[in-house]
Amino acid sequence: MAAVARNSSQAFPGIDAIRYEGPTTKNMLAFRHYDASELVEGVPMRDHLRFAVSYWHSFRGTGSDPFGAPTMLRPWETRGDTLEGALNRVEVAFEFMEKLGVGFYCFHDRDVAPEGKTLAESNRHLDAVAASLKLHQERTGIQLLWGTANLFSNPRYVHGAATSCNAEVFAYAAAQVKKALEVTLALGGKGYTFWGGREGYQCLWNTDMKREMDHLARFMHMAVAYAKEIGFTGQFYFEPKPREPTKHQYDFDCATCINFLRANGLEQHVKMNIETNHATLAGHEMQHELEYAGMQGFLGSIDANTGDPLVGWDTDQFPTNIYLTTQVMYTILKYGGLIPGGINFDAKVRRESFEPVDLFHAHIGGMDAFARGLKIAAAMRADGGIQKLLDDRYASWSSPLGRRIDSGTENFHTLEKEMLAKGDSEPCTSGRQELFENLINTYI
């Protein structure tokens, strides 16, 4: 294939590069808050946020659901799931990402290239598309935030991949991830993500859970070993999700994943890729998952989306809620940012939003929501009011007794002696939840 000097794609005619025009603009195809070069805490917004487009949702999503046919109008999709179609789609994707002004994208192997009749043919397809992706990355400077392998769509993965009851399926999945790692490396990918896919169960009666989880650990060790062998130094991520498609996914939530990593000696190699809608499916707030991973050094990258409070499923909607993005960015800043991770829009336009321009509205809204969250979080940190309230709440831990407990010099005997002498503990002070919440609203 000849070098790509410039993109000839015209999938989005009439839409120019999206620019920052400030909060008062009337142009809905402009950023009101995301100004890539604006410094926040001394760092340009683009480096705080590291936005990525998900190839699967934005370029493979059809709008079909269990009740209805595809709805998406995608005039460039004239060649079906062929190599030719895949190569054309690369041009479209890069036209979109360039116009949007994002620095990163993410893909599964089968998003970018069609599965062939054999593994070898699938690998050839992937190589051909990767060559084009590479040229477009070089032309635009857009980088691969992370790669992954689709180990769940093909019927061979009906019982899972690394956790399949079929050893040959495990072997096939290993071969697929081996190739995906090679391609991720060739494209300079900053990371590689394991999301469970169908690694879980529908029924415990037919499931040997211990065996399946041991196999998952063995699989991840093989990936880590192969990455080392080929010189892939990107960050591995594990993406928690409690259910869907199985009723119980082994990567349930951050607590489950981190325990799995530690129990299997993988904690030095893998961090979390945390998705908002998966957090809520697990019965957690996104802030909880970020905090839980962050406090233990496992905060890697995030999949930005949101669920619908009235739909209890993984609806993968674009995030527009400023309160949510404030919570997310406050916690991310607290733990020192995401690099080498980023903010991947693992989100899809609604099937009712079927025109190409809706892809722009969706991403612009998400990017602006995160930019506002970032600015609000930075203002909260600069002001220090929240931190002050939090410090006050734990002030007793700065007393001589608190310091002695924390330094490990106390035990049940000494503490009993102290309390027997005092008769009772000091009265507690108010938790001031409403004050905290009101103060947060003063920044928003």
By CB under 6 A, name the binding residues for ligand XLS.
108, 148, 193, 195, 239, 241, 275, 303, 314, 346
Residue pair 249/314 in contact (Cβ under 8 Å)? The answer is no
Residues 46-85 as x/- pattern, contact with Ni ion by CB under 5 A: ----------------------------------------
**Residue 112, CB-side half-sphere exposure with 13 Å CA sphere:** 31
Choose the contact partner of 148 out of ligand XLS, Ni ion, none; CB within 5 to 8 A by kind: ligand XLS
Residue with Cβ nearer ligand XLS (98 or 275): 275
Looking at the Cβ atoms of 32 and 191, the one nearer to ligand XLS is: 191
> Cα–Cα distance between 111 and 441 in angstroms, integer?
41
Tokens of residue 226, six digits: 């192969």
Give yes or no for residue 95 binding Ni ion (CB under 5 A): no
Candidate list 108, 125, 215, 284, residue with the active-site label: 108
| CB nearer ligand XLS, residue 33 or residue 159 | 159
- Strand-pair partners of 274: 302
Rounded Cα–Cα distance for residues 24 and 269 (Å): 45
Give the CB-nearest residue to ligand XLS. 195
Q: Lay out the site mask for Ni ion across 269-308 (x = CB under 5 A, - = otherwise).
A: ------x---------------------------x-----
Q: Omega of the bond prior to 245 within 30 degrees of 0, cis?
A: yes
Residue-wise burial string across 385-398, b where 16 or more C-beta atoms lie within 10 A, e elsewhere: bbeeeeeeeeeeee
Among 199-207, 322-330, 341-349, 350-358, which window interacts with Ni ion (CB under 5 A)?
A: 341-349
Please pick, among 111, 251, 314, 316, the residue that the annotation labels catalytic.
Answer: 111
Q: Nearest CA to 203 among 239, 259, 244, 246?
A: 246
Q: Is the dihedral of CA 188, 43, 46, 323 positive or negative?
A: positive
Q: How far is the CB of 278 from ligand XLS (least distance, A)?
A: 7
CB of 300 to ligand XLS, least distance (A): 12
- The least distance separating ligand XLS from the CB of residue 421, rounded to whole angstroms, comes to 56
Instruction: Select the residue interacting with Ni ion from 346, 373, 374, 375 (CB under 5 A).
Output: 346
Question: For 201, phi and psi rounded to 5 degrees?
Answer: -145, 155
Closest distance between ligand XLS and the C-beta of residue 303, in Å? 5
C-alpha 285/C-alpha 278 separation (Å) is 9
Give the nearer residue to ligand XLS in terms of CB position, either 40 or 174.
174
Among residues 279 and 378, whose Cβ is nearest to ligand XLS?
279
Question: Rounded to whole angstroms, what are the CA distances from 434 to 21, 175, 330, 430, 438?
Answer: 36, 54, 19, 10, 6
Q: Which is nearer to ligand XLS, 172 or 195 (CB)?
A: 195
Q: How far apart (Å, rounded) are the C-alpha atoms in residues 179 and 129?
A: 13
Shortest distance (Å) from residue 348 CB to Ni ion: 9
Q: Is the preceding omega at residue 340 within 30 degrees of 0, hence cis?
A: yes
Measured from the CB atom, the residue of 195 and 260 that comes closer to ligand XLS is 195
Pick the piece of the chain touching Ni ion (CB under 5 A) from 111-119, 161-169, 314-322, 327-335: 314-322
Two structure tokens written together for 381? 């940190």
57 in active site? no
Q: Shortest gap between Cβ of 344 and ligand XLS (angstroms)?
A: 7
Binding segment for Ni ion (CB under 5 A), chosen from 61-69, 216-224, 309-317, 415-423, is: 309-317
Please report how close the Cβ of residue 274 comes to ligand XLS at its closest, in angstroms: 10
Indicate which residues carry an active-site annotation.
Answer: 108, 111
Residues that bind Ni ion (CB under 5 A): 275, 303, 314, 346
